[in-house]
Structure 1
């Protein structure tokens, strides 16, 4: 009996040494070549570039989907240092699952026209003259900003259209999210 127990233990030990280790799930990650996480957002991507708020140049963004099975992606850009603590500047949604980033300088329009992002939409805070293009930082004092990438379980976020507000998009993205990643930056931009 003792001998069979020793054989069983030896076999189990040998199997444990040769069995592949289970890898931890790969996380969803969001980065930019324009600035590092917790770094300074260059003025090029703010109101300082043309001295007026809105209609700004969007920074290049890249992501890895990790092990998350997304049907599409949504992005939310928020000023966390505003008086309300959470001021949504810009959103993009229904970004195709095959996309791995956004190029610098998305063009103006509710429908994102870049071919690799076909079907995606964008909205920003502000009036009609600035609400269909990236609305960058314009805090005049140091504020913290966050891009949040939501991996979502549906191809198209339900209930959204050209008249939806950025807060509507954020709420729909949170409800349908299967994962998220953040990229944080700081700005002191002035018009």
Structure 2
């Protein structure tokens, strides 16, 4: 766990592996994963490609979240949340988090992020605010469906799934917007 780890206060969970062909652990996000909606130069709001392996036995579904704990809000910023990914699915293509969720498997759905859009919104740290961390997490769950409405917030997803998490796979990236 890193300093100011947003997962440090959550129940312990087994770890498994998440990788990506579009983002790299510990590296800066490429332009495609930055926010075009917020006007970040080169930003395209494309959700990253994700693949995961080694989920704990008993996994019945997955949820995926992308969270910036360093946003100057007091509560961070949720960029993406997907629930009810079937246990048979172990990969999401780049761009799965578009406006229609076209790359998501049947039954999975996107929750409204903190911009209130049910899609992926890329990184857009305030200019001069310093580096922000982006936690992309695949949560292995012990239920087929987490049972929340499609208009719930990512925080409600996190609260509801807290007692159902069998494992957690984490990929941490960064982004920074230079000062003005």
TM-score (norm 1): 0.73
Match of 1:184 among 157, 166, 172: 172
Unaligned runs of 5+ in 1: 1-25
**67 and 163 in structure 1: CA distance in 2 versus 1, 3 angstrom threshold:** closer
Greater fraction helix: 1
Q: Determine the structure 2 residue equivalent to 1:9.
A: none
Q: Determine the structure 1 residue equivalent to 2:51.
A: 62
Q: Does structure 2 conserve the Cα–Cα contact (< 8 Å) formed by 1:90 and 1:134?
A: yes
Match of 2:70 among 81, 91, 114: 81
Match of 1:136 among 92, 99, 122: 122
Q: Does structure 2 conserve the Cα–Cα contact (< 8 Å) formed by 1:47 and 1:189?
A: no
SS in 2 for 1:172: helix
TM-score (norm 2): 0.77
Q: Does structure 1 conserve the Cα–Cα contact (< 8 Å) formed by 2:70 and 2:133?
A: yes
Unaligned runs of 5+ in 2: 1-13
**101 and 40 in structure 1: CA distance in 2 versus 1, 3 angstrom threshold:** same
Q: Does 1:108 align with 2:99?
A: yes
CA distance in 1, matches of 2:57, 2:162: 15
CA distance in 2, matches of 1:125, 1:87: 6
Q: Does structure 1 conserve the Cα–Cα contact (< 8 Å) formed by 2:36 and 2:45?
A: no
Q: Work out the number of aligned pairs and report it.
A: 157
CA distance in 1, matches of 2:34, 2:158: 21
CA distance in 2, matches of 1:49, 1:167: 22
Q: Does structure 2 conserve the Cα–Cα contact (< 8 Å) formed by 1:71 and 1:151?
A: yes
What is the deviation of 1:34? 1.4
What is the deviation of 1:171? 1.5
